[in-house]
Amino acid sequence: MGQTLTEKILDDHLVEGELEPGEEIGIEIDQVLTQDTTGTMVWLQFEALELDEIQTELAAQYCDHQTYQFDFKNTDDHRFLRSAAGTYGAHFSRPGNGICHNVHKENFAAPGKTLLGSDSHTPTPGGLGELAIGAGGLDISVAMGGGAYYVEMPEVVNIRLEGELPEWATAKDVILHLLRELSVKGGVGKVFEYTGPGADSLTVPERTTITNMGTELGATSSIFGTDEKTKDYLARQDREDEYVELSPDEDAEYADQITVDLSDLEPLIAKPSMPDNVVPVSEVAGESVDQVIVGSCTNGGYEDILPAAKMLEDREINKKTEMIVAPGSKQASEILARQGWTAEMMAAGVNFSEATCGACIGIGHVPASDSVSLRTFNRNFEGRSGIEDDSVYLCSPEVAAAAALKGEIVDPRDLADELGDMEAPGIELPDQYDGSKADLISPDEAVDDELIKGPNIGNAPIGEPLGAGIHGEALLKMEDNITTDHIIPATSDILKFRSNIEKLSEFTLSRVDDTFAQRAMDSDGGVLVAGENYGQGSSREHAAMCPQFLGIDAVLAQSFARIHKANLFNFGILPLAIDEETYEKIEQGDDIEVVTDVSEAVDAGETEFTVRVNDDWEATATLNASERERRILSAGGKLRLTKEQYADE
């Protein structure tokens, strides 16, 4: 039987386990990436491991999430990150150089390699045939130390693309269509492998828009094979020698196959406040629009901004609407500027942001209260824009530009008819991506050779080994789809404490209940209760580290998002699955006792745990964990375990 492309790459990198769906496998990691909000902890943990240098082929540290300097904290973090990259041998991308996924795609992503990144949209370079997975920061530290990355062997699902995109439909509509069909949970435990003539018709930047938003489907990763288009893209980035031909075997067997005829697609839009709340643009046409933003790691490339620029050429945006362009990388903004498109957009009324995550996580360009914002981003979770009552729609750059011109949501095909002289811009790559590399510092050019820590930079907390019993209050009962943004908000006023866990913990779950952190501290810990898909969203390990710091021993949820569940193990918190009936019955404030001897049961490989509620009724909770995850839990978290292992060697 032939292999899928995913299986081929995994096979090449396999160090433990078998490629059977659901089995845990260990793989060798070629490249790692970190960004600034997760990166400080990655390096503090790497420091705690007491190794001299990174062991992977390549590591890259980006500064993209928190680039604005409100006080010394972000600047100190960036200086620390530069010093860590220099000390241990990683590339360093300066603040303002761009979003990690865009800069990595441009400079380092390579077909056939494995990439592990401490950001949930790490799968973006799957569009270039790299098998890229988002993970917690601690996994990155361990991978940088030469340790394998462990993951449940995903099911490989084939998305077969037929036909070609019609005018005004874009790669963004392909992924919005899949979100509409499959939902934000549709990709859990899966890798989506794109094949077929429709896949061949897409350029690399279009493919990376799709692989980027595979994360919104909950997928472990998404990947395309390589071909002349991949070779051409690498050549334009002056990296043709990194091309490797990759495709699945003709007789590869997939767990499932989904066919999408690209010629059936039309401009789509995700309504507030979930990326899978997708409808045709025409269905919401006429809704007044206050703000439009083109950019982010999803649609912030040259090829994404250029169509909007073409639509705005010799026109003006509507007086009641503001439009911002937030390029994904300085390479994109530099080329657009050299070609004169920046001036065209400015003349049309566009404001420019530096190449950072910015508005995507509520840093700058926060929408006005009770207003509508159309964004080309990948997420529109409630409150992510910086205000609780936001109304954020997700769409393609073409739909965004059309709304900016009209001042209301409009199908760009209808606007083109109305204006009479506006053509579908299509997709166009520059002859050469000839942006400067001034903001990338390679290990050879390192400016520091020792760590520089400012006063807001603490140490990596190390957990305590698991005890026999868990007994405490259900401190918080939450609903379905609690995101890592709910657990630790990514807004600048909070995340500036990312390197200072004691302070950051005060904000844990404050978006759900602002009394939670204080109650947890007063009661010396307890347990959390949640519905389905607990911890969806980003790979932010602070979302497990802070509850650990507050003494949370266990989370009882109907189901867990993959990366967050791994993070709970890594920080010694017991993730127990409960059924719907138990979830419904438990009330916030209930007394919860895990009656089973936890430490013994975890070590013995037991899956069923008895939970006693209010000393009155009992339910069964399930621990779905591999042997390795049990060892981590038992040791009190991965950092303590890895440190002990290195000390023994």
Q: Which residues make up the interface to ligand SF4 (CB under 6 A)? A: 65, 99, 101, 119, 121, 296-297, 357, 360-361, 378
Give 360 or 517: the residue with its C-beta nearer to ligand SF4. Answer: 360
Task: Return d(Cα 309, Cα 497) in angstroms, integer.
Answer: 38
The nearer residue to ligand SF4, 297 or 613, going by C-beta atoms, is 297
Distance CA 576, CA 556 (A): 5
| Least distance to ligand SF4, CB of residue 280, Å | 24
Tokens for 448, please give them: 């520091």
Beta-carbon contacts of residue 604 (< 8 Å; ≥ 6 apart): none
- Least distance to ligand SF4 from the beta carbon of 307, Å? 19
Least distance CB 468 / ligand SF4 (angstroms): 40
Task: For residue 28, give the nearest of 11, 45, 43, 48 by alpha carbon.
Answer: 11
Query: What minimum distance in Å lies between the beta carbon of 177 and ligand SF4?
Result: 20
The DSSP symbol for 550 reads: T
Min dist CB 577 to ligand SF4, Å, is 28
Least distance (Å) from ligand SF4 to the CB of residue 363? 9
Q: What is the DSSP code (8-state) at residue 474? A: E
Question: Which one, 65 or 310, has the nearer CB to ligand SF4?
Answer: 65
C-alpha to C-alpha distance for 581 and 578, rounded to whole angstroms: 8
Nearer to ligand SF4 by Cβ, of 65 and 477: the residue is 65
Strands across the sheet containing 350-352: 278-280, 268-270, 392-394, 373-375, 291-295, 322-326, 350-352
Query: What is the nearest approach in angstroms of ligand SF4 to the Cβ of residue 300?
Result: 7
Give the nearest distance from C-beta 359 to ligand SF4 in angstroms: 9
From the CB of 490, what's the least distance to ligand SF4, in Å? Answer: 7
* 7 versus 216: smaller Cβ distance to ligand SF4: 216
The CA distance from 238 to 250, in Å, is 31
Distance CA 169, CA 184 (A): 22
- CA 519 – CA 550 distance, rounded (Å): 10
Of 507, 502, 550, whose CA–CA distance to 526 is shortest?
550
CA 75 – CA 60 distance, rounded (Å): 18
Q: What does DSSP say about strands 574-577 and 552-557: parallel, antiparallel, or unpaired?
A: parallel
Contact 191/219 with Cβ under 8 angstroms? yes
Length of the chain in residues, anyone? 649
Burial pattern 480-514, b for ≥16 Cβ within 10 A else e, equals: ebbbbbbbbbbbbebbbbbbbbeebbebbbbbbee
- As given in the structure block, the two tokens for residue 596 are 């089973």
Question: By C-beta, is 381 or 497 nearer to ligand SF4?
Answer: 381
CA 392 vs CA 187, 308, 488, 492, 535: distances in Å: 23, 19, 20, 19, 21
CB of 394 to ligand SF4, least distance (A): 11
Judged by beta carbon, residue 133 or residue 466, the one nearer ligand SF4 is 133
* Closer residue to ligand SF4 (CB): 330 or 406: 330
Residue with tokens 């150089």: 97
Closer to ligand SF4 by CB, 101 or 640: give it: 101
With CA atoms as reference, report the closest residue to 320 among 406, 385, 409: 406
Cβ nearer to ligand SF4, comparing 358 with 637: 358
On the CB side of 573, CA atoms within 13 Å amount to 31
Rounded least distance, CB 360 to ligand SF4, Å: 3
Nearer to ligand SF4, 87 or 215 (CB): 215
Q: Which is nearer to ligand SF4, 119 or 304 (CB)?
A: 119
Q: Which is nearer to ligand SF4, 121 or 177 (CB)?
A: 121
Distance CA 69, CA 277 (A): 35
Task: Work out how close the CB of 409 gets to ligand SF4 at its nearest, in angstroms, rounded to a whole number.
Answer: 22
- Burial of 519 by CB count in 10 Å (0-12 exposed, 13-18 middle, 19+ buried)? middle
CA distances from 83 to 226, 229, 444 (A): 36, 37, 13
Q: Residue 216 Cβ, how far from ligand SF4 at the closest point, in Å?
A: 9
Which of 6/385 has CB closer to ligand SF4?
385
Least CB distance to ligand SF4 at residue 119 (A): 5
Q: Which helix (H) or strand (E) holds 441?
A: strand 440-441
